A = this chain, B = another copy of it.
Amino acid sequence: IALSAERDLDRLLEKIVKEARGFTGADAGTLYLVEGESLKCVVVQNDSLKRWGRLDLPPVPLSPEYVSAYVALTGKVVNIPDVYSSRDFNFEGPRRYDALTGYRTKSMLVVPMRDHRSRTIGVLQLINALSPEGEVVPFGKEYEELVLSLASQAAVAIDNARLISDLERTLESFIEALASTIDARDPYTAGHSYRVTQYTLAMAELDGASPREMKVYEYAALLHDYGKIGVRDAVLLKPGKLDPEEYEEVMKHVVYTQEILSKIYFPEELREVPDIAGSHQEKYDGSGYPRGLKDDEIPRGARIMCVADVFDALTSERPYRPRMPIRQALSVIREGAGSHFDPEMVELFFKLPLSRVLGIMAHGRGEPPVDLGKLSEVTLGDLYEALTKGERSPEEMLGLSGGEV
C-alpha cells in the first residue's frame, strides 16, 4: 500500500498543479518541496514546451535571493508581472532555462504550501498567465487566495502521505522485530520467518501478485510462526524428537497464530493476513492441520507459503538431523506436488532463479556459497533437471562444493 499511496500522491500533485494552472490560465507551473537546505522540484508542467518532455529543474538553495526560496522561508505570496524587469530576486535560473529552451518566462505567481500545522513544506510556482487571446498577462490578485488554498491542500496531502508511509514502516518493522525475536528463541529457527517471507515473495512475484497481495503475503509469512510465542520452551526447544503429545503442542502454534492474529485489527487491505498465516500447515490433499482444508479452500497465499516453509525447514539444520542438500530438498518438494503441495505452486517454486534462492538461503548464515551473478539465468527447475538426468554434475554446472547441492 505504501507504493500505491506514493503513486496516488504523485498523481494528486500533478492534478493540483494542473488545476491551479487551469483556474489562473497559467501556461506553466512547478511544485517544489523543501528538502534539507534546498527546494526540490517534484512537478514541472509547461504547455508551450511539451516537446521537451519531462524537464528536471535543479534544486534551489534555501536562500532568500531566489523567489521560490523566499516564499518557502517567509510564507509570503509573491506576484510578479515580469521577472525580467524585477530586481527583487535572482532570476539567473529562469533566464538560463529560457536561453536553453527558447521560452520567455514573464509573469509569475509563487505561493507557499502550508500544512495543517502552518509549516511551509513547499512552494507552488505558476508562470505566464495567458489572456483569452493567448497573450501573457500578470496574474490577477483575485487568484492569490484560490491558489494558496490549492497549495495548502497539496501540503496536507503530502503530510498525510508521509504519515501513512511512516505508520506503514512502523507496522512493518514491528512485525519484523517480532518475527526475528520469535525465531531467535530457538537457534535452529533463527532467520526462518525472514527466509520463508523472501521465498514466498519471490514466488508471488512470479505468480503476478498485486502490490496489495505482496504486502498481505509479506505480513502473513513474517507472522506465520507468531503462535510459537504460546508454546513452552520445554517443548519448543527440546533437543531430541518430540513425543506425540509434544508434537501436538508444537503444531498448535498454527492455531495460536490464527487466534492471536484474529484479535488484531487489520485494515481492509490486509484483512486476509490471519487466515493465510493460520493456514500454512494445511495440505493440498486435505490431510493438513488444523482444519483439513484442501485444494483451493486453502488461501492461495498459504499454498505458496507452504512450499516456502517446508523448503526452508528441510534446508535448515535441526538438532536431530543435518541440513538437507538442496537436491534432496527439491526431490521432497517435487514428490509432494498434489499431496502436500499445490502442483501449481511447486511449478512456481521450480521457476525461481537459483541465484535468488541461494541468496535467501544464505541469510543469517554468512556469505552465499557461490558467485550469484553467474547463476542469474539458472532456475531451480534447470538445476533439478540437470541433477535428475545426471547429464552434468551440479558441481560442473554451478561450480558449487558438493555438500551444497
Choose one: B161, B163, B174, B178; the contact of A171 (CB below 8 Å). Answer: B174
- Select the stretch in A40-48, A95-103, A226-234, A377-385 that faces chain B: A226-234
A178 and B181 contact, Cβ closer than 8 Å, known pairs A163-B164, A173-B264, A232-B233: no
A182 → chain B, closest Cβ, in Å?
A: 8
- Select the stretch in A152-160, A321-329, A330-338 that faces chain B: A152-160
Contacts of A23 in B (CB 8 A): 146
Q: Which residues of A contact B (CB under 8 A)?
A: 1, 5, 8, 11-12, 19, 22-23, 116, 145-146, 149-150, 153, 156-157, 160-161, 163-164, 166-175, 177-178, 181-182, 184-185, 229-230, 232-234, 260-261, 263-268, 270
B169 touches A12 (CB 8 A): no
A75 → chain B, closest Cβ, in Å?
A: 17
The chain B residue sitting closest to A11, CB to CB, is: B116
A36 → chain B, closest Cβ, in Å?
A: 15
**Cα A68 to Cα B94 with chains together (Å):** 47
Further pairs besides A11-B116, A232-B233: 13, Cβ < 8 Å: A5-B163, A12-B116, A19-B149, A156-B157, A157-B157, A157-B160, A160-B161, A166-B267, A167-B167, A167-B168, A170-B264, A173-B263, A173-B265
A340 → chain B, closest Cβ, in Å?
A: 30
**Cα A8 to Cα B161 with chains together (Å):** 15
Contacts of A177 in B (CB 8 A): 260-261, 263-264
**Cα A23 to Cα B389 with chains together (Å):** 76
A364 → chain B, closest Cβ, in Å?
A: 15
Contacts of A178 in B (CB 8 A): 178
The chain B residue sitting closest to A226, CB to CB, is: B181
Contacts of A169 in B (CB 8 A): 265, 267
A39 → chain B, closest Cβ, in Å?
A: 21
A233 touches B230 (CB 8 A): no
B160 touches A264 (CB 8 A): no
Contacts of A230 in B (CB 8 A): 181, 184-185
Choose one: B12, B149, B266; the contact of A170 (CB below 8 Å). Answer: B266
A107 → chain B, closest Cβ, in Å?
A: 21
Which of A8, A145, A156, A174 counts the most B-chain CB atoms under 10 A from its CB? Answer: A174
**Cα A11 to Cα B1 with chains together (Å):** 26
**Cα A251 to Cα B180 with chains together (Å):** 21
The chain B residue sitting closest to A234, CB to CB, is: B233
Choose one: B22, B116, B170; the contact of A265 (CB below 8 Å). Answer: B170
A267 touches B170 (CB 8 A): yes
**Cα A402 to Cα B160 with chains together (Å):** 54
Choose one: B153, B168, B229, B260; the contact of A153 (CB below 8 Å). Answer: B153
The chain B residue sitting closest to A7, CB to CB, is: B116
The chain B residue sitting closest to A184, CB to CB, is: B230
Choose one: B116, B172, B232; the contact of A8 (CB below 8 Å). Answer: B116
Q: List 5 A-B contacts (CB under 8 A).
A: A23-B146, A170-B266, A170-B267, A182-B229, A233-B233
**Cα A266 to Cα B149 with chains together (Å):** 31
**Cα A266 to Cα B172 with chains together (Å):** 10
Which of A146, A156, A173, A263 counts the most B-chain CB atoms under 10 A from its CB? Answer: A156
Contacts of A184 in B (CB 8 A): 230
Contacts of A156 in B (CB 8 A): 12, 157
Which of A145, A173, A265 counts the most B-chain CB atoms under 10 A from its CB? Answer: A265
Report the 9 A-B pairs with minimum CB-CB distance, sorted nearest first: A160-B160, A166-B267, A233-B233, A167-B167, A173-B265, A153-B153, A173-B264, A8-B116, A169-B265
Contacts of A149 in B (CB 8 A): 19, 150
**Cα A181 to Cα B263 with chains together (Å):** 11
Contacts of A265 in B (CB 8 A): 169-170, 172-173
